[in-house]
Amino acid sequence: MTTAIQKAEPISTLPDMPIEPSWIKGGNPVARGMIATQSGDKRVSSGMWSCEPGTFEWTFAWDEFVHVLEGEVDIVEDGTESVLTLRAGDLAHFPLGMKTHWHVKQPVRKFFVIRTPEPLEL
């Protein structure tokens, strides 16, 4: 188990982290991201994620907490008509199992913390 403080190096370029092709509904939402730090039990991880404009579905396989750093995205929880718009500075939580519909209007970049039910092996 890791007991030391972890420090991630500054992140300037993110590697590809593609969205499942069957989830893409429009545009070209190219996604990039990486895990920067991880707890000793590998159930809590943090990192950065970015996405170009487009629309897609996303079902959360973990609890996710986000801080939007750049851009704008409209998100609708499946089965509702309520639109949540996130912009730079906004914080949000998406619970495990939630199905959402994303419309990235301006390139978005976010910091995230995820908690997985099982250890996340990198």
Domain that holds residue 106: 23-115
Of 35, 76, 80, 33, the residue nearest 52 (C-alpha): 33
Residue 14 belongs to a domain: no
Name the domain count of the chain. 1
Residue 7 belongs to a domain: no
- Cβ atoms of residues 48 and 15 within 8 Å: no
In a 13 Å sphere around the CA of 59, the CA atoms on its Cβ side amount to 7
Ramachandran region, residue 102 (left: φ > 0; alpha: ψ -120 to 50; beta: rest) = beta
Residue 12 belongs to a domain: no
Residue 64 belongs to a domain: yes
Q: 101: which strand partners? A: 57, 76
Indicate which CATH number applies to the domain containing 76.
2.60.120.10
Instruction: List pLDDT tens digits, range 80-106.
Output: 999 999 999 999 999 999 999 999 999
Residue 78 belongs to a domain: yes
C-alpha 117/C-alpha 120 separation (Å) is 9
**Confidence (pLDDT) at 2:** 55
pLDDT band for position 9 (cuts 50, 70, 90)? confident
pLDDT band for position 122 (cuts 50, 70, 90)? confident
Residue 4 belongs to a domain: no
Residue 1 belongs to a domain: no
**Confidence (pLDDT) at 38:** 95
Contacts of 72 (CB under 8 A, 6+ apart): 85, 86, 87, 104, 105, 106, 108
- State pTM to two decimals: 0.92
